[in-house]
Structure 1
């Protein structure tokens, strides 16, 4: 990325089901959900959203091998998206196992996202 213009952060949790991809997508959506960048095209090369770069850094507590990067990328509506996964996030108890929700145990998966936008 030549010029970084925004960094947005978010947190996503999968309370039941222990699905690291679900938590990661929620973290990315939380990071971008309350943002609008109405002038972004005017600063991108050729005024095109195709030239926007979006770098996602995910702090993931476990199950990295089960993280579906393509599903995470699909949560972002525009840009050339890259995803980096680092150690972090959190595992904590939900206090209950709900088998009908897909729980294998009582763990909540918490993922933190930093979404960098630029060109």
Structure 2
């Protein structure tokens, strides 16, 4: 069956002092997810577990992100997480930089095309 993207959401998260790229990414994901209450699966008659969730996270140090922690944010569905160079590291006068992460996620289902 062909996959059809039905929803795209965006979010931003930060780690103010700890330079924790994973935590900034988790906050970006939650920002994207918690801004809506869309019952997408029910709307199309699917189980929530059938949601195909593609996530792209942008941070300055992608290798510092624990992808398994990000996948655990989702209570259901089939998340795939890809971390790329992006976001921002904002220098501070003293201590670690503030880390900003960006998240983009899309939700798809395997669906029969409507004609």
Q: How many residues align?
A: 108
The answer to whether the 8 A contact 1:15-1:94 is kept is no
Once residues 40 and 85 of structure 2 are traced to their aligned partners in structure 1, the CA distance between those partners, rounded to angstroms, is: 34
Instruction: Identify the structure with the greater helix proportion.
Output: 1
C-alpha deviations, 1:12-71, integer Å up to 9, x for none?
Answer: 100011110000000000011121112422315xx2111111110011111x22211010
Q: Which runs of 5+ in 2 are unaligned?
A: 110-115
Q: C-alpha root-mean-square deviation of aligned residues, in Å? A: 1.6
Give the TM-score normalised by the residue count of structure 2. Answer: 0.85
Corresponding residue for residue 55 of structure 1: 54
Give the TM-score normalised by the residue count of structure 1. Answer: 0.83
Q: Which runs of 5+ in 1 are unaligned?
A: 98-105
